[in-house]
């Protein structure tokens, strides 16, 4: 690869990282504002017909072909994570950590669900996500959907996801997916309780989960 090509690739990578970081900051600020209003009891601006609570209504397809909706998840807290089955590190690491944390909760382990939503509908079909979550040794609800359905839930949770070609010279070739790496903790009423960052210390993450199921 020539020096010019290397420089171009480096700049493209830097731009992707900057865009991802900006999206993550915007998502975090929005979530913190929502949490602050919820916990303080402060009055939120009046909602119009287009304004929805954090998360909002959604409908997806589970690994077994049945429907998964915000209503079907209601009644039990859940930790929801967005990723894809071909993710090389962030996704398997996050789901492995969730499985470990659930085990460390002891008697509270079954008091919340873990939900994995694929952001790669072109490659992740229901059977694929079902086989994938079985690798982690703990019950995980896996879901996917159409482009429109996934766009809706991503908008509701403020999740960023974008295809990135592995070879910039072949935009229609193989790709990875840049995506939000946080874990959203939702209470039994479907309200945002907290967010576990990808780099969160285990002790802090466990405290947030205990608060979620407490």
In whole angstroms, give the CA distance from residue 184 to residue 181: 10
The per-residue pLDDT for range 46-68, each reduced to its tens digit, is: 333 444 589 999 999 999 999 99
* DSSP, residue by residue, 8-51: HHHHHHHHHHHHHHHHHHHHHHHHHHHHHHHHHTPPPPPP-TT-
In whole angstroms, give the CA distance from residue 161 to residue 38: 27
Task: Share the mean pLDDT of the chain.
Answer: 84
Pairing outcome for strands 78-83 and 113-118: parallel
In the chain, the N- to C-terminal Cα span, in Å, equals 56
Show Cβ contacts of residue 11 under 8 Å, excluding neighbours closer than 6 positions: none
The rounded percent of the chain whose pLDDT value lies above 70 is 76
Which has the closest alpha carbon to 182: 53, 102, 79? Answer: 79
Question: What are the angstrom distances between the C-alpha of 77 and each of 51, 74, 166, 189, 193?
Answer: 23, 8, 37, 8, 9
Decide if domain 54-213 falls under CATH 2.60.40.10. no
CA 178 to the chain's CA centroid: 12
Question: What are the angstrom distances between the C-alpha of 185 and each of 13, 85, 86?
Answer: 30, 21, 24
Q: Where along the chain do its domains lie?
A: 54-213
- Report the predicted TM-score, pTM, of the whole model to 2 decimal places: 0.77
The per-residue pLDDT for range 16-32, each reduced to its tens digit, is: 544 444 444 444 444 44
Give me the pLDDT at residue 49, please.
42
**Number of Cβ within a 10 Å radius of residue 147:** 9
Tokens of 169: 């010279």
Mean pLDDT, residues 78-102: 98
Question: pLDDT at residue 12 above 80?
Answer: no
In whole angstroms, give the CA distance from residue 61 to residue 63: 7
Question: What are the angstrom distances between the C-alpha of 19 and each of 15, 46, 91, 113, 184?
Answer: 6, 31, 20, 31, 21
* DSSP, residue by residue, 114-145: EEEEES-TTT--HHHHHHHHGGGSS--EEEE-
């Amino acid at each position: 690869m020539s020096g010019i090509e290397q420089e171009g690739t480096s700049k493209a990578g830097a731009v992707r990282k900057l865009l991802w970081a900006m999206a993550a900051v915007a998502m975090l600020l929005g979530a913190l504002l929502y949490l602050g209003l919820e916990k303080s009891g402060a009055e939120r601006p009046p909602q119009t017909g287009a304004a929805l609570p954090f998360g909002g209504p959604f409908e997806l397809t589970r690994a077994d072909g049945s429907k998964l909706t915000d209503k079907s998840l209601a009644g039990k807290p859940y930790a929801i994570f967005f990723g894809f089955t071909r993710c090389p590190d962030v996704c398997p690491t996050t789901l492995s950590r969730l499985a470990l944390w659930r085990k460390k909760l002891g008697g509270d382990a079954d008091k919340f669900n873990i939900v994995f939503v694929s952001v790669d509908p072109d490659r992740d079909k229901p059977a694929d996500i079902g086989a994938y979550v079985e690798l982690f040794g703990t019950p995980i609800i896996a879901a996917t959907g159409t482009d429109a359905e996934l766009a809706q839930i991503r908008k509701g949770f403020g999740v960023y996801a974008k295809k990135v070609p592995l070879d910039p010279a072949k935009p229609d070739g193989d790709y990875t997916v840049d995506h939000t790496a946080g874990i959203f903790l939702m209470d039994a009423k479907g309200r945002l309780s907290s967010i576990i960052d990808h780099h969160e210390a285990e002790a802090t993450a466990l405290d947030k989960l205990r608060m979620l199921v407490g």
